[in-house]
Amino acid sequence: MKNPIYIEYYFHEKCQCYKIDIPWTKYAKDTKVLCKVSEGYDYAKILAIGILNTSLNEALSCKVDEK
């Protein structure tokens, strides 16, 4: 299984940041910036868990499309 957290330059912070892509979204792509790499991977993981839990709860609260 591939780790969903990755490092990429973030223009607004002007540095490398940890990011994660939310898999369930109404947009083509929904990337969340977690934190600066200098703040540490463990901190990024904590933030990712919170973001993923919130996003999943929101997705599960939507009505299911029955076709």
How many domains are contained in the chain? 1
Q: Please give the residue range of the domain that contains residue 55.
A: 5-60
Residue 29: pLDDT band (50, 70, 90) is confident
First to last CA, the chain: 31
Residue 34 located in a structural domain: yes
What residues form DSSP beta bridges with 42?
none
Distance in angstroms (rounded) separating the CA atoms of residues 35 and 10: 10
Residue 66 located in a structural domain: no
Q: Look at residue 57 in the predicted model and tell me its pLDDT.
A: 92
Residue 65 located in a structural domain: no
Q: Look at residue 64 in the predicted model and tell me its pLDDT.
A: 77
Tell me the pLDDT of the chain averaged across its residues.
92
Mean pLDDT of 31-44: 98
Distance in angstroms (rounded) separating the CA atoms of residues 25 and 38: 29
